[in-house]
């Protein structure tokens, strides 16, 4: 990135430098289209972030507000998680299938016990593509506990300090 000029040569060139670096980073991880897409997505996210910050500075928005920061963490988590689908998938087709399932292209399945029968379920959710199945039809052991465990783990991930925050007080360095 710095060899290409980094951010010292204007916004258009900086965008090209970011995209080139991230595409090469994708290729470095593996010689497949899924890795190239992974790199392209991350490059695009970085470029969007830089453009958003420029717009916010011109509009004099306070990006340090706690609500903005929490929304930014959530958005970053979601888009990076979706992009990692390409990194882990063996083919673009598999990644597409995983993403369409995640995004509810075939509809969303929920346990019958969550909503019961009523106007909300029958007249609003079912026409929107929501499917209701018994928990035994889901073939997942301990399904009732899974969502609670996921919620607890997400709270831990977002509430606990990360490794950079933990090590920041020690000022680690390779040079004396």
User: Catalytic site residues?
Assistant: 29
SS3 labels along 12-42: HHHHHHHHHHHHHHHHHHCCCHHHHHHHHHH
Residue matched to tokens 């979601």: 78
What is the spatial distance between Cα 158 and Cα 70, in angstroms, rounded to a whole number? 9
Tokens of 60: 């004099």
């Amino acid at each position: 990135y710095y060899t290409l000029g980094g951010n010292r040569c204007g916004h258009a060139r900086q965008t090209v430098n970011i995209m080139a670096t991230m595409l090469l980073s994708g290729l470095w991880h593996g010689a497949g289209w899924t890795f190239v897409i992974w790199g392209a997505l991350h490059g695009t996210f970085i470029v969007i972030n830089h453009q958003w910050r420029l717009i916010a500075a011109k509009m004099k928005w306070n990006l340090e507000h706690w609500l903005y920061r929490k929304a930014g963490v959530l958005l970053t988590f979601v888009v990076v998680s979706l992009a990692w689908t390409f990194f882990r998938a063996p083919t673009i087709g598999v990644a597409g299938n995983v993403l369409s399932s995640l995004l509810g292209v075939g509809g969303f399945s929920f346990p019958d016990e969550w909503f019961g029968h009523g106007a909300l379920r029958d007249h609003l959710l079912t026409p929107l593509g929501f499917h209701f199945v018994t928990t035994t039809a889901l073939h997942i052991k301990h399904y009732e506990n899974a969502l609670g465990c996921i919620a607890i783990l997400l709270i831990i991930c977002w509430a606990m300090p990360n490794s950079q925050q933990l090590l920041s007080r020690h000022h680690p360095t390779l040079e004396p």
